[in-house]
Structure formats: structure tokens, C-alpha cells
Structure 1
């Protein structure tokens, strides 16, 4: 973190100084008193079940040199001499305002990534590409909301040349706020599906929310989108450059001769009117070709050659719990339990079917935030799984009946058979583990996929113990 003066901080958050301490050599910002250490700035956020203003005493004792609050709960005698107190109207807004000011002081290019699915994989791919030429920072974990993104901004300093920042959202206005803070030079939209349709009601509204990433764009800015997505394909240039990628040669960057291997993908990429380049990526799944094309286009916008980009992709480092293939002595686990939507479910099933093995089993849980589309979406995934020929579908969660209906649907509309041995539904994790331990045989492959809230990694950890 680059240094900000005390006066700069007060002005940036439009705050009132209630108390001025005697130390100002702070070097990090935290919203969690459990992570505060000497030289911290503590911003006291409020949530449904907590009030950070109640922890000012603990923050001071742990070494916080500044506490930014919006409610006075502390006692003066509990605050250390080195701690300053700044009061604001709203600490969440103060976090965003301070991050916006801090960003304005950095000489750095920002690449912002959003989309219904594929954000994190595209972030990893983009960081790998750009890393061949630049010093790159990328969003850690799931710090991609109005709290997490500012905290990522504060981790930047002028030693970095490019920041690749992920932006998630569940409603209108959220990406607008993050774009105001980050002021991206380049934005990437992976796709527009039905994630968060519970709040936004239509895919058109989801597109509108994603396009907030361009709200502060000018002529020098560039938006890169997946042209194979039906809604994104219709976008037209406005007051900024627009690049479309995909599998058709009408796009600015397109892939062809695609070969999907068990643990990797190979394809050729061509920029319009330019030479082609053969690309190899150590990621499974055809969907990652779309993600890679977005990263490749980003690299060229930042003046990289296709050969440099190819070199960068060799150093790809991916995030946890996203299509992690774990080979044991008995069976293979495909861990993709970080998040779930209909598109990512189908992509994971494709990967499962492409892995060398005997029987293919999918353990699927609930896809959250789909609202009125939930039942049909789960049914559609069940039907897709059946069409791909998986040997056993195991459903967990509230939409087991929908999975069953889709998986057992017949063209002739014959009655669903409750005794179909290729579909099972369980109520708890222990039952799934107990069943799989007895069911799985050597060289079987089992996929785990659900929304993050279902914490499927608990099943995987128990199963891994029996796979040595």
C-alpha cells in the first residue's frame, strides 16, 4: 500500500476527526479486527449480524492507528494514544470513497472482469497472459464485491503495472459502484446467463447490470466480450472500443481446430487479418477456450504479441475448487464446488465425460439465486446429464425432484420410474459419503458441483480419506 497522509484520508472519506493519535505510519487497511495488526487502519463496517463500531477498543489494542467509524460506542479511556478516530456518515461508503481516492494516485492499468460464469477462470487466464510482460496483481479468492474489491485496491502499489480485478454482483448498481472505484481501462464480460435472476428478473436486466462496468468509459477504453453469447453478440460500439471473441471467424479473435483433452485444451487462435497461433492451456473443458480468448484479446490490447501471450499461458495458476481433478489410488474426484449455474453445471458435466475412466458419477446440489427459474433450471441440468450418458446422478438439496424429472424424462413422456438405479437422492452429506465409499470402484470418476453455500468440499474431504 502506498502511503496516504492523515489529512488525505480525512478528506477522501469526508470525515470528522474525533480524536487525533500520535502515530501515522500505517501501511494496511482492514475491516476485520481478527486480522488487524500493528500499523492498521480499521474501517468499522456494519452487517446484519455484526456492528464493527463495537470493536473499536479491540482494534486499538491490536495496533490500529486509525479507526473509521459511523457510530460512537467506544469509551475514550479504552483508546490507545496512537489511535486516531474519524467519524463518517456511512463506513461502507467511506471504504469505497477511500479506495477510489487511493486508486486515483496509482499509475496502473486496471482490467475488470464480470459475467454470469467464468469470471475467476478468466481472471486467472488474463493474469497469466499479462504476466509474461507485466508485473500483475489479481483479485484474491472471492474478494469481488463492494467490500472485497476496495480491499484488493488497497493491496496495490506502484510496483504493479496491471491489476486484474474481478467484479461480482447480485443486483443493479453494485458493479457501477465498483467501476467508480476501480476505473478500469479494459473490461471483460464473459457471458450473460441466469445467475442472480432471482433479484434481476430478466436476462436483459442482468446484461444491464454487467454493462455498468463501462459506466466510466471514454474513447480510450476497451470492452471485450464473448460474441458467442446471444445477448453480448448484439452489443455495438459506443464511446469506447468493442472487441468480440468466439468460435466464428466473424469475430475479432476466434478459435478453431479445438481439441479437448482430459486435463487440457489445444486450439488455434486468429486475430482478424493477422497470423494464427497454436495455443495449449492446462485447463480442462471447452468452455475455457471462450475464457482464454477473452484473456488473449486483453493481452493484445496491452500491446502483447500472440507469442508472448502463448508464453504467459504456460504459467497459468488457477484458483481453488474450480475443476480441480484429484486422482486417488481408487477413483478420481472432480472438485468444482466453488459455485454453480446452469451453464457451469453443463460445462462441468462435459469435463466429467471427457476424463478417462470407467463409470461417470455426478453429485449435484442446489444452484442458488435463480428465483422462479430454479425448478426448470435444475430440471434442465438433469436432462443434460442424462443426454451426456452419465452412469449415476446423485442429487442433494431442495431441487432433487427437479433433477430427477429432467434426468428421467422420456421423449414419449412415459411415467417417471422411482426405482431408476441411475438416479439417487440423499438428504445429508454423511449418507452420500457412506454410499460412495461402498459404490465407487477403481477408475470411476465422480464430479461434485453446487453453489458455494452448500459446502460440498466437506464431502470431498471425507471421501479423499478413503481414496489413498
Structure 2
């Protein structure tokens, strides 16, 4: 972190209760197991732990500064070991520190949200910008009120642009993230059913995603997927709105789309020019994600030529349509998360494979509330002409089966039951898709397939 101790103290409105004469610090950490010399340890409270319990441990492990909101030690335990700051609330302090730091660095920020495709779009934006700019992007799914500020605090003045993912499960959450990150450009990938259990309607999901533009003015741009029925009519008199899609009415549009087993090619049209993009990613949905990235790059004055060159630097986040080749077996690992829209997209990718037997192993989709049974039925029905064998796991296997309406389905209550029988089902030259919500942890199935 490029800030002084005084700046940090003022940003978090903290009180020094123990001060070591010499204060040297580098980066912030919230896990004592990962503490490095001269880190700042911030004590976060979780559902099953209280970081304040580990203040002394943090100092012993090398932290030079500890930020707490409860004193759970004797002062004599920490004398001369480091500096301790007490704040009203450490989670609030984390947000305030990140907000100050983002303002101090003054770099460009791109915020990305949406029901599905956030991470792939983030990866594509970072790649398309990379030939012109030094780009930072959110790691993994650090996209909530703890993860996003931690990402901001990893930034340095070396970076020109930060591409930050913004997740939510309720109203008000993205507004909070936007108040900290203050994106110059916002991106909404789509409005699906993810989190409808909490938000009840897709209109409320749209309202929650639109919070990314809460602090926008005439200098800001919101980029949306015009092919999404809830986003296609978005407009504003306050900030600029750009839309992407499949025909010429959009600011960026695509033609000549060629879908291959593990890559996608299309012709992009924008700003009176056109260029061919060859994606090392499968699926038509990634054409939409790339067009969102193209519009972001255009907003930041990146040329088509620079975008195409930057695409060579694409680093995709793991467990998202990750293709693994192993001794005649092709595994499509897409088990990071799942929703009805992303399930359909992944099934489309599987169906593009030719001259092989196609197997989909699908698990439960979470946070769908009253839509759960219907959503699993619809995914089962969508899979009917996309796969040769459907294997389903979990609570909604009957709904998958009713939608699939085909004898080529195998049902398991647990992933452990499935793993026991996989070697009797999967054969040489099969292509196997694995997908479910994160909590199902179907990466265990992927691991088993890799070891077969």
C-alpha cells in the first residue's frame, strides 16, 4: 500500500492504543496464517470466528500494525511487538481505507456486474486493455464487501486501470461497493435468476445491478448487453449508455460467428471499423462478453488493433469452462458456479463437440427460491438434444429428469455415489461437462475423472 501511517490512521478514523517507535508496513492481510513481515493485520469478524482473537498471533507472525475493534488481550502482551489501532468497526474501516486509497491512486476503474459472465467478462476486458495499459483485475471471486476492498488495497501506482468484479445477493450491496470503487465505466452482463431467492423478482435483480451507476455523472459510461430483455431499454439523462448485441442497431455488434469445440471466431463491428476476433474460449455467450470488453476498451481509447493484440494475453480464471485433455478423455470443468443461463451456455459448448459421446454431469443450482423446481426442469429440457447421457446429482434430480424426458439419464443423491460409478460410465473419447453451484463442490468429480 502506497500511503503513510498518518493517511491510514485518518482514513479509518482510528485510535492508536499501542505504538512502536518505528512503524514500517507494506500490505494488508486478514488471515494470520498468511501474514508476512511488516504486514498490516485487519481483524475481521465472521460467522464462526473473530479476528480480534488473533491480534497477538498476528504480531508474533510478523505483522507490524494490527487494526482491531475489540481489545481481547492484556496490553503487556503486546508492548514493543508492534503498533495497534482500535476502530469502531473493522469491516467499515476496510471499506473506508479502500475508498481513500482508490481516490489517492486516481487510476481508471472498470466495474463489472451481472447475473452470469462477470468473471469471463472481467478476464476479457483485462486482456483487451493489456496492450496499451498496465491492468489489474479482481482475483478469483473477491467481489463482495471484503473481497473488493482487499483487491483495491493490492493496487499500486504502476497500474493504469483496475477491472473490478462486483457481486451481490441483496439490494444495496453493489451501491456500497460502488461507493468505494467509484467505477469510471460500469458493465452489466445480463439479468438472470441468480439470487432471486432473496430479491424475489428479476426487476429487483435489475435494480440491484443498476446500483453500479449510483454515483455516475456525465463523465461515466454504463455498458450493457442489449440482447438481454431487461437491459435492452436502459437509458439515462445523467450518464452515457452503450449497448452491444448481434445486429447493427448496437454500438458494438457481431457477425460471421463461428463456434468451434474450444474456440470462437467472429467479426466485430464498432466505431465505423471492423476486426476479426479469435477467442480461445468456447460458446456463443463469450461473443457477447467480448463485445462488452470491446466497448470498455473503446471508452478507454484502445484501438481495434491493440485489442486484438491484447487478446493474446488472456488469462482465464480457473474452473470456468476449463478444458482438460487426458488420455482420450475431454473434461469441461465449469463447476465454479451455476445458474439457469450459465447451464444453458455450457450445454451449448458441449453440444459443439462432434464425433464423440457427450456426457453432462449437472448438480443443484442454488439461491433460486420458488423458481428452483421450474429452473431445474427447464435445464433438463434444454439438455435433451444437447447430450447423449445426462447425469444429475442432488436435491432437484427429479426436476432435471422430468424436463429431460429421456431414458438416458442417471440420478444420484450425492456426488460420492456418482464418483463410485463413474469408471463404469465414462469411456474413452467421451467429452464430459461438469457443472453446478459452487457449494456442491463438483471439482471432486473433476479430480476423479482426471485420475481415472
Q: TM-score range by the shorter chain?
A: over 0.9
Cα deviation code 1:202-235 (max 9, x no counterpart): 1111111111111111111111110100111010
Is residue 292 of structure 2 the alignment partner of residue 294 of structure 1? yes
Q: Which residue of 2 aligns with 1:317?
A: 315
Compare 220-229 and 421-430 and name the one that shifted more.
421-430
Structure 2: unaligned runs, 5 residues or longer: none
Q: Which residue of 2 aligns with 1:221?
A: 220
Shift of 1:107: 2.7
Q: Which residue of 2 aligns with 1:448?
A: 434
The 1:123–1:80 alpha-carbon spacing in structure 2 relative to 1, beyond 3 Å, is farther
Shift of 1:87: 1.4
Shift of 1:384: 0.4
Shift of 1:40: 0.9
| Distance across 1 between alignment mates of 2:415 and 2:23 | 50
The 1:101–1:307 alpha-carbon spacing in structure 2 relative to 1, beyond 3 Å, is same
Q: If the length of structure 1 is used for normalisation, what is the TM-score?
A: 0.95
| Distance across 2 between alignment mates of 1:169 and 1:371 | 16
Q: Which residue of 1 aligns with 2:191?
A: 192
Q: Secondary structure, in 3 states, of the residue corresponding to 2:88?
A: coil
Does structure 2 conserve the Cα–Cα contact (< 8 Å) formed by 1:138 and 1:163? yes
Q: Which residue of 2 aligns with 1:284?
A: 282
Q: Which residue of 2 aligns with 1:209?
A: 208
Shift of 1:429: 2.5
Q: Which residue of 2 aligns with 1:432?
A: 418
Does structure 1 conserve the Cα–Cα contact (< 8 Å) formed by 2:275 and 2:304? yes
| Distance across 2 between alignment mates of 1:238 and 1:373 | 35
Q: Secondary structure, in 3 states, of the residue corresponding to 1:233?
A: coil
Does structure 2 conserve the Cα–Cα contact (< 8 Å) formed by 1:195 and 1:341? yes
Q: If the length of structure 2 is used for normalisation, what is the TM-score?
A: 0.98
| Distance across 1 between alignment mates of 2:177 and 2:276 | 36
Q: Which residue of 2 aligns with 1:121?
A: 120
Q: Which residue of 2 aligns with 1:54?
A: 53
| Distance across 1 between alignment mates of 2:28 and 2:188 | 29
Shift of 1:6: 2.1
| Distance across 1 between alignment mates of 2:343 and 2:265 | 22
| Distance across 1 between alignment mates of 2:39 and 2:202 | 42
| Distance across 2 between alignment mates of 1:62 and 1:310 | 46
Q: Which residue of 2 aligns with 1:363?
A: 361
| Distance across 2 between alignment mates of 1:97 and 1:345 | 37
Detail structure 1 runs of 4+ shifted over 6 Å in the superposition: none
Does structure 2 conserve the Cα–Cα contact (< 8 Å) formed by 1:281 and 1:314? no
Cα deviation code 1:121-152 (max 9, x no counterpart): 00110000000110011111111111001110
Q: Secondary structure, in 3 states, of the residue corresponding to 2:105?
A: coil
Structure 1: unaligned runs, 5 residues or longer: 409-419
| Distance across 2 between alignment mates of 1:383 and 1:86 | 57
Shift of 1:357: 4.0
Q: How many residues align?
A: 452
Compare 78-87 and 173-182 and name the one that shifted more.
78-87
Residue among 422, 427, 446 paired with 2:408: 422
- Alignment RMSD (CA, Å): 1.2
Does structure 2 conserve the Cα–Cα contact (< 8 Å) formed by 1:103 and 1:182? yes
Q: Which residue of 2 aligns with 1:136?
A: 135
| Distance across 2 between alignment mates of 1:23 and 1:427 | 59
| Distance across 2 between alignment mates of 1:177 and 1:149 | 11
| Distance across 1 between alignment mates of 2:39 and 2:386 | 55
Q: Secondary structure, in 3 states, of the residue corresponding to 1:94?
A: helix
Q: Which residue of 1 aligns with 2:327?
A: 329
Shift of 1:82: 4.2
- Pairing of 1:68-217 with structure 2 (within 5 A): 68-217=67-216
Q: Secondary structure, in 3 states, of the residue corresponding to 2:115?
A: coil
Does structure 2 conserve the Cα–Cα contact (< 8 Å) formed by 1:382 and 1:402? yes
Is residue 391 of structure 2 the alignment partner of residue 394 of structure 1? yes
Q: Which residue of 2 aligns with 1:340?
A: 338
Does structure 1 conserve the Cα–Cα contact (< 8 Å) formed by 2:251 and 2:270? yes
| Distance across 1 between alignment mates of 2:424 and 2:328 | 12
Q: Which residue of 2 aligns with 1:16?
A: 15
| Distance across 2 between alignment mates of 1:331 and 1:36 | 41
Q: Which residue of 1 aligns with 2:251?
A: 252
Does structure 1 conserve the Cα–Cα contact (< 8 Å) formed by 2:113 and 2:166? yes
Q: Secondary structure, in 3 states, of the residue corresponding to 1:314?
A: helix
The 1:380–1:63 alpha-carbon spacing in structure 2 relative to 1, beyond 3 Å, is same
